[in-house]
Amino acid sequence: MASTDHGTGGPAGGGGRRPGPGVYRRRRLAVAILVVLVVVALAVGGAALAGLFGRQDDPGDPSSAPGSTSAPTGPAYSASRTPPSAAPSAGSSSAPASPGATPSGSPSAGRCDPAAVVVGAETDERTYSPEEKPVLSLVIRNGGTTACAVNVGTSQMEFVLTRGAERVFSSIDCQESSEDLDRVIEPGGEERATFEWARNRTVPGCTVVEEELAEGSYTLTTRLGARSSAPVTFTLQ
């Protein structure tokens, strides 16, 4: 009687073996680690971007505003005088006036006796070539024996230029505004206001005058309040 051989192999055509449970566990662990790494990377990148945009948009951060600068602080005393190219500015004989000049009414010294205030006029040259612009100065001296306060502001000063009997220029013709400025002057000390004259003619009301000045001798007289200087003569070529 013939025997039947059942064999020990699997079904026909099924030569592969299924992975064991350990392989599946290792695969799942690798996938879990990868997911954790991706989440951490996204969190770090998001925090960096949030910090960047938050810094750019923070109004309290001065460096976040492109081109931002601190608010400029103007001088405590300024003068605006048109048409001269440079406005008169008060200052001491040894140095120009400091931006923190004492405002009117605050000096502790008393007012100068008007009789002790000496007003003078000066020019930086005696003769000017056609290309040169005269620099005119109003000088205020304390001729008394004690320190005292003088109003040296643009509300008090005037520069007047004449040619013979003809009025040529006045610094108040085109003055847009004026202000007071009290300065304490020591005995024998002085304050001065200067500006560069553009060799132009002015009339009251600041009407434009299109006229070239002739060569020759001109006279400068300065005024501070009710006191005037002695005339100073110079020549334009």
pLDDT value of residue 68: 34
Which band of pLDDT confidence, cut at 50, 70 and 90, is reported for residue 219? very high
Output the CA angle 156-219-193, nearest 5 degrees.
Answer: 35
Condensed to tens digits (0 to 9), the pLDDT of residues 69-124 reads: 333 222 223 333 333 333 454 443 333 333 333 334 445 679 999 999 999 999 99
pTM of the full predicted structure?
A: 0.57
Q: Are 152 and 174 in contact (CB under 8 A)?
A: no
pLDDT value of residue 19: 61
User: Does domain 89-236 fall into CATH 3.40.50.2300?
Assistant: no
pLDDT value of residue 208: 85
Share of the chain above pLDDT 70, in %: 57
Output the CA angle 59-61-65, nearest 5 degrees.
Answer: 70
pLDDT value of residue 81: 30
Q: Once rounded to an integer, what is the mean pLDDT over residues 116-139?
A: 97
pLDDT value of residue 42: 65
CA distances to 89, 125, 153, 181 from 77, rounded to whole Å, are 8, 27, 9, 8
